[in-house]
Amino acid sequence: MTSTTQTEPQAESDYAAVGGAPAITVVVNRFYELVLADDRLRGYFDGIELVRLKRHQVALVSQVMGGPVAYDGRDLRTAHANLHITADDFAAVAGHLIAALTEAGVPSEIIDRTVSAVAATQPDIVEVSATEA
Ligand code: HEM
């Protein structure tokens, strides 16, 4: 055990810093509204059960913010296979997440970290790269 572990409270996750589950629920509900109101995106979610969709949103936000969420769904590559998601779709979803976080008053450095973590999932989710289009 090194001397730097568990000596300072600053190891708090972004998930905890923004207010935990109640705050994430507000962000998730707003993100969900924005995605389904977006004509570019809503078609992807046709026929997807609300429960599944909610799990999608909660997992997305909680995981990337370091929340204590034991995600037990499919890995992201499998979950998004055959959906033919483009880089533009991905950017639109990420944009809605940024909007929901911003509206909820989440500090910009936490938004930056969250967006970086989400961006790192792009190779697993985007099937049609911009260069192939
Ligand atoms: C931005 C990063 C994204 C993350 C971290 C993410 C994460 C997830 C997760 C955790 C699930 C649940 C998997 C399961 O139920 O086992 C899921 C499902 C899904 N995602 Fe995403 N997603 C992202 C982007 C997108 C984008 C850009 C689209 C489409 C435009 C999309 C469409 C879907 C759909 C349609 C499902 C349901 C698939 C099914 O149940 O068959 N996701 N996503």
* Residue pLDDT, tens place only, 96-118: 999 999 999 999 999 999 899 88
Q: Tell me how far CA of residue 61 lies from CA of 2, 55, 104, 114, 130, in angstroms.
A: 31, 10, 13, 8, 25
> Does 133 or 98 have the greater pLDDT score?
98
Confidence tier at 60 by pLDDT (50, 70, 90): confident
Give the count of domains, the chain.
Answer: 1
User: Is residue 32 a part of any domain in this protein?
Assistant: yes
Residues with CB under 6 A from ligand 1: 41, 44-45, 48, 52, 55-56, 59-60, 73-74, 76, 79-80, 83, 85, 89-90, 93-94, 118, 121, 125
Angle at 75 between CA 117 and CA 69, to 5 degrees: 65
Range of the domain at 106: 13-125
User: Is residue 133 a part of any domain in this protein?
Assistant: no
Domain CATH for 59:
1.10.490.10
Q: Which atom of ligand 1 is nearest to the CA of 94?
A: 1
For residues 83-89, give the mean pLDDT: 95
What confidence score (pLDDT) does residue 133 get?
A: 45
User: Is residue 71 a part of any domain in this protein?
Assistant: yes
Whether the per-residue pLDDT at 46 is higher than 60: the answer is yes
Q: Which atom of ligand 1 is nearest to the CA of 40?
A: 30
Q: What's the mean per-residue pLDDT of the chain?
A: 84
